[in-house]
């Protein structure tokens, strides 16, 4: 997920015109590991500097919780711009339908001031 999140983050930053990022939230149900969050590594790889960076690993609703967190950071005045990345790539037997496997992918979202 780290590499997928880095790629998605780089694309989001490029599409935002290089806007300064104050915080980073990575939403994933399929992290490479439970502990140490991948978000700080993504922030470092994207050269975002010394910013708040956290993971949301709350299954299917993680991206929604990530969006709520990003909105809260902006509304509270803690951050002006939050980069929210949804990164997923997994297979589950429960998703097998007629011999095919579904996979989820949320490439990127850029949240700015509302």
Residue 98 has a pLDDT of: 41
Mean pLDDT score, 26-45:
86
pLDDT above 70: percentage of residues in the chain: 78
Q: What is the CATH number of the domain that holds 42?
A: 3.40.47.10
Question: Residue 71: its pLDDT value, please?
Answer: 92
Please report the sign of the dihedral spanned by the C-alpha atoms of residue 6, residue 8, residue 11, residue 12. negative
Q: Report the distance separating Cα 11 and Cα 16, nearest Å.
A: 9
- 20: containing domain: 2-111
Q: Predicted confidence band at 91 (pLDDT cuts at 50, 70, 90)? A: low
Number of domains in the chain: 1
Average pLDDT over residues 74-89: 90
């Amino acid at each position: 997920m780290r590499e997928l999140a880095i790629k998605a983050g780089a694309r989001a930053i490029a599409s935002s015109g290089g806007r300064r990022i104050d915080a980073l939230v990575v939403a994933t149900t399929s992290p490479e590991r439970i502990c140490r969050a991948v978000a700080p590594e993504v922030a470092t790889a994207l050269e975002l500097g010394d910013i708040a960076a956290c993971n949301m690993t709350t299954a299917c609703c993680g991206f929604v919780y990530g969006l709520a967190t990003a909105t809260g950071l902006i509304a509270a005045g803690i951050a002006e711009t939050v980069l929210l990345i949804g990164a997923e790539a997994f297979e589950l037997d429960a998703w097998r339908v007629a011999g095919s496997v579904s996979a989820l992918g949320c490439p990127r979202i850029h949240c700015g001031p509302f």
